Amino acid sequence: MGIYKMASKESIVKLAIDSILNQTYKDFEFIICDDGSNDGTYELVQNLIKKDGRVILIRNEKNRGLAYSLNHCLSIAKGKYIARMDADDISMPNRFEKQVKFLDEHPEYAVVGCNMLYINENGIWGNRVLAEKPIKKSFLFTSPFAHPTVIMRKEILDLLNGYKVEKITRRLEDYDLFMRLYANGYKGYNMQEFLYQFREDNDAFKRRAYKYRWDEVQVRYRGFKVLGLMPKNFLYVIKPLIVGLIPQKILAKLRGFRKES
């Protein structure tokens, strides 16, 4: 788990950390990387984890971004599998138990994710159902995996040299990784269970800078080439530039959001 400048959100961070420490599957190491925070985040996490020896807290000397932070975690991880987690989300208590069991029983898959519930300060407001068995073409519209929900085989992450630390992947490190994974002949699966709660405001897309869409165009072009999806799918390469102009209510439906009744 990477964390950055979350000292003012102690209750949210505590929920995230506790949701991992209280997993029904107990045999894990929990590596948290503070990405150069200067607001007391490191000290906050120190206090929250001091009673559990499974937690390893590390820090970057300066802010380096999520991809760098995750690679820092990977460099010391000893486990067979690598689970992702975000500092403001919640994992359901049986998430690890179910995903580890799935990977143990299905060696043909390199990564397993799950469906998500969307939460905000008022609780659950929607959900997202992901494709059960993504194929290469599944990457054309968006990443078929929700990054913080996945558990991956570490040996394969090591073969892929982890996450790419580049300007264009600063918000797309997961999309790039999963496309490289599929390009190398591996595949993943999404459990059709809601094992993760993702913190997302209804209008979060409005706050996302349009400038990052050009980064996504470049990541898509490179990824689609290695997946053998070019040139006939070039229109999907420039999709981010077009999507940025679509009204948010329509975009939410296209992305697979389901509003809770």
User: Average of pLDDT values for 137-160?
Assistant: 97
CA distance 65 to 183: 25
Task: Pull the structure tokens for residue 65.
Answer: 């971004």
**Cα three-residue angle 9-86-40, rounded to 5 degrees:** 35
pLDDT value for 33: 98
More reliable by pLDDT, 129 or 246? 129
The phi, psi pair for 189, rounded to 5°, reads: -145, 145
Over 70: is that where the pLDDT of 208 sits? no
User: Average of pLDDT values for 28-54?
Assistant: 97
Over 80: is that where the pLDDT of 125 sits? yes
pLDDT value for 261: 44
Over 90: is that where the pLDDT of 211 sits? no
User: Average of pLDDT values for 167-176?
Assistant: 96
Of 40-49, 71-80, 135-144, 246-255, the least confident: 246-255
CA distance 73 to 31: 6
pLDDT value for 111: 98
SS3 6: coil
DSSP annotation of 162 reads S
pLDDT value for 244: 73
Over 50: is that where the pLDDT of 177 sits? yes
SS3 199: strand
Contacts with 187 (C-beta within 8 Å, 6 or more apart), sequence order: 108, 109, 110, 133, 134, 135, 181
Residue 209: pLDDT band by 50, 70, 90 thresholds?
A: low
Q: What is the pLDDT of the chain when averaged over all its residues?
A: 93
CA distance 202 to 237: 26
CATH 3.90.550.10: does it fit domain 2-253?
yes
SS3 53: coil
pTM of the full predicted structure? 0.92
CB-CB contact of 87 with 13 (8 Å) = yes
User: Average of pLDDT values for 14-39?
Assistant: 98
CB-CB contact of 39 with 79 (8 Å) = no
User: Average of pLDDT values for 100-112?
Assistant: 98
User: Average of pLDDT values for 45-62?
Assistant: 96
Over 80: is that where the pLDDT of 243 sits? no
Percent of the chain with pLDDT over 90: 85
CA distance 216 to 175: 9
